[in-house]
Structure 1
Amino acid sequence: MLFSVMQLLGGMILSLGWIPQIARILKTKSVADLSLKSYLLMLLGIALMEAYAVNLTLTGAGLAFLITNTLSLCVVSAVIVLILRYAGWNKR
């Protein structure tokens, strides 16, 4: 139980750590210094871990991992959408 709580708290902190980056992108409307390739690789890694988390949850373990990994997947996806949006915006 303790390790599940630690996983949940740690995962939430890691996932919510992307919020300042998203806020900065929205404020400045600039993604010039961000690497789309890096974020796509992170998304791929998180997606693979998501499949593992689903498998763990289906076997009766890993719910905290699934929750925090899903949150990370959503947040990194949001950054990618913003990179695509504002990279195109800057080219016009």
Structure 2
Amino acid sequence: MFFDALQLIGGAIMSFGQIPQIIQILRTKSAKDLNLKTFSMMFTGILLMEIYAINLVLNGSGEAFLITNTVSLIASAIMVSLILKYGNKQNKTDTENQR
């Protein structure tokens, strides 16, 4: 029970820790300083852990891990999609300053 609580707390911090970055990207419409490879690797790692968590639940344990990992997977997928959408775009003023 104690370790389930630690998993929920740690998983929640890890999952919801991405929300400020997501909000920043949505507000500025820019992700040009974020590395797609880094976030793609994180997404892949979380996806593999998700498969493991599903296996744990099917064998009678790991519900806390599955819950927090699923939230992390969703947040990570949002980050990758936002980087793909806004990562290479430059602000109009940045483009003008380069001329």
Query: What is the identity percentage for the equivalent residue pairs of Structure 1 and Structure 2?
Result: 53
- Equivalenced residue count is 91
Amino acid at match of 1:63: E
- The superposition leaves residues 62-81 of structure 1 with CA deviations (integer Å, 9 ceiling, x where unpaired) of 00000000000000100111
The correspondence of residues 4-15 of structure 1 with structure 2, limited to 5 A, is 4-15=4-15
Q: Confirm whether residue 86 of structure 1 aligns to residue 86 of structure 2.
A: yes
> Which amino acid in 2 is paired with 1:59?
N
Task: Report deviation, 1:89.
Answer: 4.5
- Show the 5 A alignment for 1:32-71: 32-71=32-71
SS at match of 1:30: coil
Shift of 1:88: 5.4
> Please, what is the CA RMSD of the aligned residues?
1.4
Where do 5+ consecutive residues of structure 1 fail to align? Answer: none
- What amino acid sits opposite 1:49 in the alignment? M
Alpha-carbon deviation of 1:3? 0.8
Select the structure of larger CA radius of gyration: 2
